[in-house]
Amino acid sequence: MKSLKSKNSASGEKVLAQLSQDLMAEFPKIKGFSKRNLELIRQWYIFWNQDVAITQQAVAQLVLIPWGHNQALPENLKSSLPSVEEIEQELARELDDN
């Protein structure tokens, strides 16, 4: 018998797959509703929606970060909520890699 966590995970995967299909059908001219992109959006939301408050200054600086870098941050940073310095270091590493 599957554990409750794996059942929820499996049903969550089905929900994302169905949501992806529904959004693509409803908005055929808009790109970005793939299942993988919805997973990244969810991951990004969970990462940045922690109980620790982000100051307005940090939020204002996040606007300057391209979306692709925002996608990479939750996957690449180890701490639960990075400082602005950690974000800048990660961006520098991303730019060096490209």
Give the 3-state DSSP-derived string for the chain, with helices as H, strands as E and coil as C: CCCHHHHHHHHHHHHHHHHHHHHHHHCCCCCCCCHHHHHHHHHHHHHHCCCCCCCHHHHHHHCCCCHHHHHHHHHHCCCCCCCHHHHHHHHHHHHHHC
The structural domain count of the chain equals 1
Residue 4 pLDDT level (bands cut at 50, 70, 90):
very low
The proportion of the chain whose per-residue pLDDT surpasses 90, expressed as a percent, equals: 21
Q: pTM score, two decimals?
A: 0.46
Does some domain include residue 93?
A: yes
Does some domain include residue 74?
A: yes
pLDDT in tens, 27-72: 999 999 999 999 988 888 887 776 555 555 555 555 566 767 767 7
Q: Distance between CA atoms of 13 and 53, rounded to whole angstroms?
A: 30
Does some domain include residue 81?
A: yes
Instruction: Give the residue with greater pLDDT, 35 vs 78.
Output: 35
Does some domain include residue 87?
A: yes
Does some domain include residue 34?
A: no
Residue 1 pLDDT level (bands cut at 50, 70, 90):
very low
Closest CA to 45 of 22, 67, 68, 74: 74
Report CA dihedral (27, 66, 62, 17) to the nearest 10 degrees.
Answer: 40
Does some domain include residue 16?
A: no
Does some domain include residue 20?
A: no
Q: Domain span at residue 60? A: 51-98
The proportion of the chain whose per-residue pLDDT surpasses 70, expressed as a percent, equals: 60
Per-residue model confidence (pLDDT) at position 8 = 56
